[in-house]
Chain A
């Protein structure tokens, strides 16, 4: 009996230590933004890596999400004789919910996993130790450019996701199912208000922060995570864990932000 209580206490203490470590990590990563010299070219390279190179997958996902929304929306709305509201339904679903969430999940899978694995391998091969020994701040050098690049890229990718999704909905609703194009466009114009846009923007920034924090943080502490193992196995486990944690956090915070802002 006491053994189980001891184990429970031990796990709780470990979880608290881990949370504390990750909290300090976030503060140091944010502080890196103000450290000099600023790594401008590395930040641009990371924007290409995280943002530009994710565009294809975002366009593909956004397009098909919009098309499915168009299809599903049409059949649901037609039951109530409200086909003309298709544009409004597609746009609101994308801007308020699906755009930010699906973009964040795609970036987590494509770029977040890569960030985690890269930092984890650098930790295991003593590259991070080498940076510290050269008195080079690993946060300013490595983490901050990724942080800034993600914060810049995710909202822009979300914008593209929404635009391509709305176009996909148009293609199916207007092009295939015969909804009036003017009704589709005016539905969007009349229903989308500033709050919807703001909600999408806030969500995309928060999700970007969650992705970069969790993915780089797990990689950075790969050697301290209980049960992760060692070497390549540890990196692979921690990368999976980071992607799962980041995805769950995105969904959790999506609910919280919606509940607070609506």
Chain B
């Protein structure tokens, strides 16, 4: 089996007295989609920020391609960040520049492509995400779904090897959510990136998952498939499943009683 794209080794993160991650050990396999699920305030977004080096763990190591990013300086971090693409919860588009400029930003800042080449690539990407004709608009003039599509287009401009999605469908209606999932499927098929999705949208998001990580009380539990969660005997996991998905599995005895 190949080396995991990302590995948490004994990672602990605290905010004051609150322990968000408590000696967590977990692998994110290369080329696969891992969904991180868990209740609000359990540290899902913190996990993404740790992977991106935006936060440092209090102890433990976070290995990306075998290198410990928690011990890296700014320059090394920037080098490794070129491997990442991120779709933020609110898309995090720069709101003082246009859609075109947002999508062009990684190319302008990180490559030596000519203006014409950048223009061609951005227009191609905008067309792929159904954004043709919206390049001159500012983020404030876009709907929530369009913002996410622009964010996704920007994140994919440098063809990252690892994509991180922070609540990609939160605040979107079901139709737009499905559209985002469709784009996810298409882009992952095309680029073959390793993806990590933090989401509340359970059980829908499980359809994308090769592996599910459940975050509860500072602990991460890995499940090889979404089905495996439903058969867990752990009372906390059963409680999580019932509150998020409803009673998925009902035994024959329970069926008779109900």
Contacts and interface: CB of A to CB of B under 8 A. Distances in A.
Interface of A: 37, 118, 122, 125-127, 129-137, 141
A127 B92 CA distance: 5
Given A125-B90, A126-B92, A127-B94, A135 B110 contact: yes
A141 B86 CA distance: 19
A135 B84 CA distance: 9
Nearest to A134: B106
A135 B92 CA distance: 15
A41 B92 CA distance: 23
B106 A126 contact: no
Interface residues of B, number: 24
B248 interface: no
A132 B81 contact: yes
Contact of A133 (B54, B90, B96): B54
Interface of A is mostly: helix
Contacts of B49: 129
B126 interface: no
Contacts, number: 53
Given A133-B84, A135-B79, 11 more contacts: A122-B94, A125-B92, A126-B88, A126-B92, A127-B95, A129-B54, A130-B94, A134-B81, A135-B110, A136-B105, A137-B74
Given A125-B95, A127-B94, A129-B54, A135 B88 contact: no
Interface string B32-75: 00000000000000000100101000000000000000000010
B67 to A, nearest CB: 15
Nearest to B86: A133
Contacts of A118: 96
A125 B158 CA distance: 23
A135 B81 contact: yes
B54 A132 contact: yes
B138 to A, nearest CB: 13
Given A125-B90, A126-B89, A126-B90, A133 B95 contact: no
B82 interface: yes
A184 B81 CA distance: 64
Q: Quick one: which of B81, B89, B92, B105 has the most chain A CB within 10 A?
A: B92
Contacts of B96: 118
A130 B92 contact: yes
A45 to B, nearest CB: 10
Given A125-B95, A126-B88, A127-B92, A133 B78 contact: no
